[in-house]
Amino acid sequence: SLRGKTAIVTGSNSGIGLGVAEELARAGADLVVNSFTDRPEDHALADRLARDHGVRVRYIGADMSKPDDCRALVEKAGGCDILVNNAGIQHVAPVELFPAAKWDAIIAINLSSAFHTTAAALPGMREKGWGRIINIASAHGLTASPYKAAYVAAKHGVVGLTKTVALECAGQGITCNAICPGYVLTPIVEAQIPDQMQVHNMDRETVIAKVMLARQPSGQFATVEQIGGTAVFLASAAADQVTGTTISVDGGWTAL
Ligand code: NAD
């Protein structure tokens, strides 16, 4: 059980982050839920998670594109035992047309935020002699697709950061690993479906099967519950010696 542990999950008011938060809470962890907004519904979500799972949950707004916000999130939380770096965005364009501002935003949110939160969280973990850093990378942390230069570069960077942090913490009760999901049907993916339907002149089902899941041999989306369950495993005692590695949850994508 993760009772008595506190987990910060960045970008956790929707999608995979919310799924991970939900499963960590189900396993007994107290939570800090985060996004860049600070709306009544964000705090209502925290209250709902607390009620459903009988754990303490706070919502702390912080913009993961800003280094100071990343570090302030960890400070306001009072440190954490489990840090899940999940916040992420996507933009799709050929490299020579890729807007520089989008490149900078993707590198900041998908990669640099994990550096800043990790740097801020590690001293507290070292004091306790226990910590878990779980980075939500991607199949695109291990392999590429065209038109996703910034995303693929950032996610490969996350895998590199994961290995380096693992080495710096080895033998100190602190592990650092990356989960590499294939396609998971979340808002970030749902939003791509209408565009793909238009580009390929296909209906929704065909786009999902023939375009989105073309590289996912299982032909099925992974679920946010499965990503959450993998995070719970990495936080468990069974994973004490699992560090500096990636766990793919991709229906066989990276085996191809
Ligand atoms: P999503 O859009 O549903 O969720 C993204 C989360 O990040 C949201 O909670 C959003 O509010 C938050 N966020 C965005 N910008 C932020 C910022 N500046 N500061 C703080 N929070 C911010 O997307 P998702 O699919 O759940 O993606 C979550 C992570 O999983 C991302 O890192 C993504 O790259 C990764 N991932 C997703 C898939 C997939 O198929 N859905 C596959 C592999 C990896």
Residue from 59, 147, 151, 183 carrying the catalytic annotation: 151
Walk along the chain (256 residues) in steps of 10 and give the mean pLDDT of each run: 98 98 98 98 98 98 98 98 98 96 98 99 98 99 96 99 99 99 93 91 94 94 98 98 98 96
Domains annotated on the chain, with CATH: 6-182+222-248 (3.40.50.720), 185-220 (no CATH)
Residues in Cβ contact with 33 at an 8 Å cutoff, skipping those fewer than 6 apart = 9, 12, 13, 18, 21, 42, 45, 46, 49, 57, 58, 59, 60
ipTM, 2 dp: 0.99
Ligand 1 neighbourhood includes 208 CB (under 6 angstroms): no
Under 8 Å between Cβ of 166 and 177: yes
Rounded Cα distance between 230 and 248, Å, is: 10
CA of 127 to the centre of ligand 1 (A): 30
Atom of ligand 1 nearest to the CA of 151: 34
Ligand 1 neighbourhood includes 138 CB (under 6 angstroms): yes
